[in-house]
Amino acid sequence: MCGIAGILHFDDAPIDSDLLRQMADRLAHRGPDDHGVHVDGPVGLAHRRLAILDLSPAGRQPMCNEDRTVWVTCNGEIYNFAEIRRDLEARGHIFRSRTDTEVIVHAYEQWGLDCLERFNGMFAFGLWDSRRKRLWLVRDRIGIKPLFYAHQGRFLLFGSEIKALLCDPRLGREVDDEALAYYLALNWMPAPHTLFSRVRQLLPGHYLLIERDGRSQDVEYWRLEFKEDSVHKPRRAWIDEFDALMEDAIRLRLVSDVPFGAFLSGGIDSSAISYWMSRNLSAPVKTFTIAFDESSYDETPYARMVARRLGAKHHERTVTADAAQILPQLVWHAEEPTADSSMVSMYYLAQEARRRVTMVLCGDGADEILAGYETYQAYYAACLYRLLPGFIRRWVVGPLVGMLPVSHAKISLDFKLRQFVAGAEYSAEDAHAAWRMIFDAEARKGLLAPVWNRPGVRSDVVDLYRSYFGRAAARHPLNRMLWVDTRLYLPNDMLLKVDRMTMSHGLEARVPFLDHRVVEFCAAAPPALKMKRFSTKKYLLKAVMKHRLPRKIIRRKKEGFNQPVPRWIASDLKGFVLDALSPAAVRDMGILEPKTVGRLLEDHFHGRADNSHKIWGLLTLALWWKRFLC
């Protein structure tokens, strides 16, 4: 994994090599091992290298073909590169390195744009074809790797992170009002939006083809299909095929010239990855876990249980409230912005792992392909709940839930019930959006009062979710939700968190559950194998892991990678929060209503409400504003 950047001019202006190097240097944390630039007429490509395969100078990027007419700068890995390379060598192509990146230029030579069909991997790359005078920007099918661009009148910029693009003084930093509304609703940014109005991110499974004169095409080259009319197979056949696919996905991701390990939380996803790794390695798996001093958040007993079962070499790191004071640094790395509090743990977990390894495997993606979230169960529960007369829901259930005492425990019952009752008043699919919401439409209106006259800030995230449901390639309700989360929530929150926090330490993270073959297989599997009788989530994975992992791991409820943020905000971080969100600081931003923010803080500090998600989002926004706009 690496950092990439580039410039394409549509006029005759020369490429500024110093600017290109600045863009690359801004991404040095992603690629601490080497750097390179290539200028060819109207285009400049830059690269920061994290050496994983072929550690020699032969692996330096940007990289070219034999006659130097095709150049690429790539972030990521092509896992099946050895197989593709053998095919290309048989066709006469000559390779100079042992890297997977070099396969890209030769595959493009051989098959053109269709070469993407052959790649199994996570990648974002910029490829310059000097004969056709065109730039090809590509993002992997699932969106594991990021790719941002700014298409201006006379030039185009691209990079792995927005901060590389911001090196160019020609690029303005105006705020996107629509993106601001989405951020406050979700605490994350749905692609193609960023909070910078002139910067966009390429959608997963898309490529952008830009001609020398500035004409461009945004093409969807891969679309996840739920083949609900596929041939029926016995349950055992589905289980065995899934096991075999995961074994192969793990095998491909163990190819490395550097030390590697696994993130292990003690949940079934990371435990399963660690298990499959142990089957493919002769040495013990190195596992890494984050601990908390608050028992309801600490999962280390489960992680230790799995590590003992597998004979792993286990490492732990304890995170305290003091660690949350690195939030300005996290905002710098997340940059879109994104306010997922679990970035704190991921940051320290990656830091701990990087002391011993350069690459890790992790369990992300299983929830979105195998129905691991409670929101899927809540969908069916809400269908039954709405059978109750409206007056009972509004005047009995609602007030009773509202009277529950506020708890700061992990995924507390009062929090879940409040979210459920509020979301259940929406229609079935709208509820799926409502359960993700931090600030609903009415709350956003009060919060954004200073700018409410600007149409963009009135954009509704429910409409955004409706547009995704409208394109969902599935009929079954569960599959429709999985399709939307795979295309929306997974790449824009979960995978962003993993990429930014691991790459902030120059650590590569590989996600076997998101091998596109695994994703397509799970999409084709019957809904009952993903959620059995609306009670057993990720049934297929649990069936495969039965008798392989401790029973407690198979049966335990999903807890997620949450932090004790409610307590942190109310105690250790209180002064920090009050300063960052003071009336003066909020007023200086010019977009938020200070009195509304003040009431949120007061209610949280006096125990009248758990506003931790809202406060964390506003805190992130305030720090982002100070870091990028002031």
The pLDDT value given to residue 411: 58
447-491 per-position pLDDT tens digit: 999 999 999 999 999 999 999 999 998 999 999 999 999 999 999
Is 68 inside a domain boundary? yes
Task: Name the DSSP letter for residue 229.
Answer: T
**Which residue carries 């495969």 as its tokens?**
544
32-78 per-position pLDDT tens digit: 999 999 999 999 999 999 999 999 999 999 999 999 999 999 999 99
Evaluate if residue 623 carries a pLDDT over 80: yes
Is 157 inside a domain boundary? yes
Give the pLDDT mean for 249-273. 96
User: Could you tell me which residues come within 8 angstroms of residue 389 by beta carbon, excluding any fewer than 6 positions away?
Assistant: none
Task: Decide if 135 contacts 214 (C-beta within 8 A).
Answer: no
The pLDDT value given to residue 561: 56
Indicate the burial class of 54 (C-beta count within 10 angstroms; 0-12, 13-18, 19 or more): middle
Please give the C-alpha separations between residue 281 and each of 100, 289, 312, in angstroms, as whole numbers: 22, 20, 11
Give the pLDDT mean for 74-83. 97
In whole angstroms, give the CA distance from residue 563 to residue 561. 7
Task: Decide if 379 contacts 432 (C-beta within 8 A).
Answer: yes
The pLDDT value given to residue 608: 86
Q: Beta strands of 18-116 (E only): which ranges? A: 34-40, 43-49, 63-64, 70-78
The pLDDT value given to residue 538: 96
| Global confidence as pTM | 0.94
The pLDDT value given to residue 427: 82
What single string gives the DSSP state of each residue in 172-214?
A: ---B-HHHHHHHHHHSS--TT--SBTT-EEPPTTEEEEEETTS
Give the pLDDT mean for 228-237. 84
Count of the separate structural domains present in the chain:
1
Chain center to CA of 602: 32
Give the pLDDT mean for 208-219. 96
Please give the C-alpha separations between residue 74 and each of 82, 160, 175, 245, 324, in angstroms, as whole numbers: 17, 9, 29, 26, 33
Task: Name the DSSP letter for residue 118.
Answer: G
The pLDDT value given to residue 396: 61
* 2 labelled catalytic: yes
Residue 50: give its domain's CATH number: 3.60.20.10
Tell me the β-bridge partners of 38.
Answer: 45
Tell me the β-bridge partners of 318.
Answer: 291
Task: Decide if 2 contacts 49 (C-beta within 8 A).
Answer: yes
Q: Residue 540: left (phi > 0), alpha (psi -120 to 50), or beta? A: alpha
Task: Decide if 456 contacts 177 (C-beta within 8 A).
Answer: yes
The pLDDT value given to residue 162: 98
Return mean pLDDT, the chain.
92
Buried b (16+ CB within 10 A) or exposed e, 509-527: bbbbbbbbebbbbbbbbbb
Is 291 inside a domain boundary? no
- Residue 320: pLDDT band with limits 50, 70, 90: confident
- Percentage of residues in the chain having pLDDT higher than 90: 80
Among positive and negative, which fits the CA dihedral 45, 48, 51, 55?
positive
Q: How many CA atoms lie within 13 A of 540 on its CB side?
A: 31
Is 183 inside a domain boundary? yes
Residue tagged active-site, from 2, 64, 115, 522: 2
Evaluate if residue 415 carries a pLDDT over 80: no
The pLDDT value given to residue 607: 85
Evaluate if residue 22 carries a pLDDT over 70: yes
- Residue 231: pLDDT band with limits 50, 70, 90: low
Give the pLDDT mean for 119-129. 98
170-182 per-position pLDDT tens digit: 999 999 999 999 9
Task: Name the DSSP letter for residue 365.
Answer: T
Is 332 inside a domain boundary? no
Indicate the burial class of 117 (C-beta count within 10 angstroms; 0-12, 13-18, 19 or more): exposed
Chain center to CA of 576: 27
The pLDDT value given to residue 417: 72
Q: Tell me, what amino acid is at 203?
A: L
The pLDDT value given to residue 69: 96
Give the pLDDT mean for 357-372. 97
Evaluate if residue 559 carries a pLDDT over 70: no
**Which residue carries 């060598």 as its tokens?**
89
- Residue 81: pLDDT band with limits 50, 70, 90: very high
Evaluate if residue 391 carries a pLDDT over 70: no
Is 359 inside a domain boundary? no
Is 160 inside a domain boundary? yes
Tokens of 164: 């590389």
In whole angstroms, give the CA distance from residue 6 to residue 604. 45
**Domain range for 216:** 2-220
In whole angstroms, give the CA distance from residue 108 to residue 59. 18
In whole angstroms, give the CA distance from residue 619 to residue 578. 9
In whole angstroms, give the CA distance from residue 519 to residue 515. 6
The pLDDT value given to residue 117: 97
CA-based radius of gyration for the chain:
24
Is 364 inside a domain boundary? no
